[in-house]
Chains A and B, each alone.
Chain A
Amino acid sequence: MTAWHFTGPPGRRRRRRKPRVTVERIRAFSLLFLLFACLQSSKSETDITGLSISFSHTERHSFIIWHNYYCSDVDDLGFMRPWSPLEESGCQKQYETWYASYLPIVVRRRCRWEKENPRRNSHLLQRFVRKGIPHTFRKELWLRSCPSRKDGVWQRHEVPDEVIKQIKLDLPRTFPDNKFLKTETTRKTLGRALFAVAEHIPSVGYCQGLNFVAGIILLVVNDEARAIDLLVHLVSQRQDYYGKNMIGLRRDMHVLHSLLREHCPRVIVTLEKLDVGLDMLVGKWFVCWFVENLPMETVLRLWDCMIYEGDEWLFKIAVSLFRSNMIAISSCETIDQLMTEIQNIGTSKAALYCHQLMMKSAALPITNKSIENLRVIAEKEIPE
């Protein structure tokens, strides 16, 4: 019996029509494929990794990716799959359907990246990044314009004991279910990464939420020194978010407010009717760049663009999410309904179907320049 059989409400198990491609079928297919591959390779006296002998490039990729996706309960980054029986997300069925529709995209992107080599042209690269960086190239692309600490870009400062204490408290509370982060060695690495941020950017020190950001970076980059470079680099670009009064965060909430007024006025009408500010509702989206608020794949896709292009992507995604959930949000009549709806955005269909979300967001007329202009206006409005 497989994982998703456990999901139905007890006692009311109705037989539903299955989607055309199910995880179950793919698992079976994958096993057959593996068997077939073994047979093939034994004939030509090569090991299983020599699959290319009998399969084309695309087929091999599809197979490897599909196999990895479906035959393990843990993904490449060590996170529990949403359909794993241990995962308590409760939306396994929805994930299953989504994976089946998303996998062909992943496979195609990987083949396109290998064939096309988009790095030769910045315009092409932007298009490719927006469509998603395949996992194998993610590290390289994320580190593309990241300076190394060895070059002496960053100065060292003293770190107060209080900060160290706070970091230590949060180490076991950072993705405790992740296969890699639950080991003592990786936790120590995480601690060193957060310490490096505190050391190089004293105005930030440590801010809760950075632990999740650092966790993801460590898992993707998988190389302590470079992961720390990237973490310090990215945090330094947004250091006013984490400063003493979180001035940058409050400013950007004003900016988001203006953007929503333009792109999604119904939401603003509701917010004004209920007299509630965005910082209360979605501040945490920006503090940890959507980690822990959106599904992991969506976060990675968003980070691809954010790292390559800039902060405007945080706004693009936020506006997109509000637009997709506009009806639910604008029909709220009390603050608690609103808060519940906002919390539900993370598990909404719009958030899960990341490819569609990215394409929709890319089309929004929000640019780095428009954000900069709005920031200048917002800075005058917020108190010190």
Chain B
Amino acid sequence: MSSVERKEFKFKVVLLGEGCVGKSSLVLRFVENKFSTRHLSTIQASFQNKTVQVDDCKAELHIWDTAGQEKYHALGPIYYRGSNGVLLVFDITDQRSFQKVKNWVLEIKTCLGKTTEILIVGNKIDLDDERQVSRQEAEAYAESEGALYMETSAQENRGISEAFEALTEKMIQHSRTTTSEAPLSNRSIRLIDEEPLEESRRKKCC
């Protein structure tokens, strides 16, 4: 089967980022079109499905929403391993969360190499008055890393479906150009073994 004719895709997408930047709210808005101010902290990870239509292609997204706390990153590689797309979320009113995104980019590049597409998301643009990270700065950074950059507001439902669609488009292109590789579904599940864990930990400390 030629990959160019492929119309249906399955992608694993992971949301990463510091605590309280709005990862779960993004997913809730995207999947159920809801927003809640009374939100619970995410423990470890939660999982959701959603199908997106991009041009004439259909893509089923398996979205993994992860806990923001660093402690859970001991289990981290399990989540992003085998993912086709990563959403790195930060809060535009919090410079620190943007720095955290930079760390994530490094970690993902070392662990996943070029097998994944990265989309950096600046969330909470409804709080533009308190903005600490300028659009230009974030855009320039994303470009330097070969990633996409988009701004969203889960509260006001701005830019969210656009963000997921843009990422899906990129993932479709990616999977079309890398046809020779094994099917993605096979790569998304890998042994949770001692070695990769140790390896990633060693890399993390640099």
Contact = CB atoms under 8 A, between A and B. Distances in A.
Interface in B19-44: 19-20, 37-44
Interface stretch (A59-67, A114-122, A149-157, A166-174): A166-174
Contact of B47 (A277, A279, A292, A340): A340
On chain A, which size bracket covers the interface? 35 or more
Interface stretch (B65-73, B101-109, B150-158, B169-177): B65-73
B43 A277 contact: no
A280 B38 CA distance: 26
B181 interface: no
B185 interface: yes
Contacts, number: 88
Contacts of A175: 40
B49 A340 contact: yes
B72 A208 contact: yes
B124 to A, nearest CB: 14
Contacts of A336: 47, 49, 62
A275 B189 contact: yes
On chain B, which size bracket covers the interface? 20 to 34
Contact of B19 (A208, A279, A283): A208
Contact of A244 (B44, B71, B185, B194): B71
B40 A245 contact: no
B40 A208 contact: no
A339 interface: yes
Contacts of A292: 40, 43
Given A169-B19, A169-B20, A277-B192, A174 B72 contact: no
A174 B192 CA distance: 31
A371 interface: no
A280 B43 contact: no
Nearest to B67: A208
Nearest to B198: A383
A335 B74 CA distance: 21
Contacts of A166: 19, 69
Contact of A207 (B40, B69, B185, B188): B69
Contacts of A104: none
10 contacts: A169-B19, A173-B41, A208-B67, A208-B72, A280-B192, A336-B62, A339-B47, A340-B47, A343-B46, A383-B194
Interface of A: 166, 169-170, 173-177, 207-209, 211-212, 242, 244-246, 249-250, 274-277, 279-280, 283-284, 287-288, 292, 334-336, 339-340, 343, 382-383
Interface of B: 19-20, 37-47, 49, 62, 67-69, 71-72, 74-75, 78-79, 185, 188-192, 194, 197-198
| Chain A to chain B: the 6 pairs with minimum beta-carbon distance, closest first | A176-B38, A277-B192, A284-B44, A173-B41, A339-B47, A383-B194
